[in-house]
Amino acid sequence: MDVDLTHLDDTLLLQHIRQGGREAFAVLVNRYADRFYRIAYRLVSSKDDAEDIVQEAFLKLWRRPKLWDPSKGAKFNTWFYKVVINLCVDHQRKKRPLGLPQDMEMADGNPGHDVLLDDHQRQSLLDRFISDLPDRQRQALALCFYEGVSNHEAADMMGVTLKALQSSIMRAKTTLKKKVKLYFGGGSI
């Protein structure tokens, strides 16, 4: 007889997974795949890479479910965010920096002329500004601004103090605001 595991919390699902429970693993993947994909995408800016990273993270969990130790006090999703973030950082280190499309040159040479930028160009520039941020600032922005994670939780996920996290968000937004004003023109913001 099939037992419905969807109502179980993460801790109980992980107990099943430790005993080889494939159904429990499927429930956990269905519960979290999209959420962890979103944060991976924000950090690596590529759909394929983000999907691969999330898959790799879940497969690590499947092969070594004891890596998550509930007795250490961390919630499963907080711990798993850390796993995904670390995989994204490793991935970014291996990857070359993003190049700017050729049609961006005009905008680069004449900052402030927002009328010259179409939506696609604005989006590409913004993505480039975000990817140019230091790792920690990008992570803070992705977690707190794009994912709406609380500051306390984000600090825990990133393994930094609350002050350090808040400082990272402020620096990230200040840098981005300057660049946006410079390249998109004062009328944009």
Partner 1 sequence: MRMDPKQFREYMLIYGTDILNWPEDMRTPGLKALKSSLELQAILEDEERFERVLRESRYEDPDPDLAERIISASLQKEDKRPYSVAGFFSDIFWEFGMPNRALTAVSLSLLVALILGFAIGFFYPSGAISSEQNQINLEAFLYYEGDVL
Dist. CA 43–CA 45, nearest whole Å: 6
Contacting residues for 159 by C-beta, under 8 A, at least 6 apart: 82
Pair 22, 59: CB distance under 8 Å: no
Asked if 4 interacts with partner 1 (CB under 8 A), we say no
For residues 2 and 34, which CB has a smaller minimum distance to partner 1 in the complex? 34
Helix (H, G, I), strand (E, B) or coil at 113: coil
Dist. CA 25–CA 65, nearest whole Å: 10
Pair 5, 27: CB distance under 8 Å: yes
- Residues of this chain, 79-138, that bind partner 1 according to CB under 8 A: 119, 122-124, 126-127, 130
Q: For residue 170, count other CB atoms closer than 10 A to its CB.
A: 12
Asked if 188 interacts with partner 1 (CB under 8 A), we say yes
Asked if 184 interacts with partner 1 (CB under 8 A), we say yes
Task: Report the residue from 34, 96, 99, 109 that binds partner 1 according to the rule CB under 8 A.
Answer: 34
Nearest Cα neighbor of 61 from 4, 2, 13, 6 is 13
Asked if 55 interacts with partner 1 (CB under 8 A), we say yes
Q: Number of residues in contact with partner 1, rule: CB under 8 A?
A: 45
Q: Which of the ranges 3-11, 25-33, 69-77, 96-104 carries the binding residues for partner 1, by CB under 8 A?
A: 25-33
Asked if 178 interacts with partner 1 (CB under 8 A), we say no
Asked if 24 interacts with partner 1 (CB under 8 A), we say no
Q: Which of the ranges 78-86, 88-96, 100-108, 166-174 carries the binding residues for partner 1, by CB under 8 A?
A: 166-174
Q: Which two tokens stand for residue 17?
A: 């997974």
Dist. CA 146–CA 137, nearest whole Å: 13
Q: Residue numbers of the site for partner 1 (CB under 8 A)?
A: 18-19, 22, 25-26, 29-30, 33-34, 37-38, 41-42, 45, 47, 50-51, 54-55, 58-59, 62-63, 66, 119, 122-124, 126-127, 130, 145-146, 151, 166, 169-170, 173-174, 176-177, 180, 184, 188-189
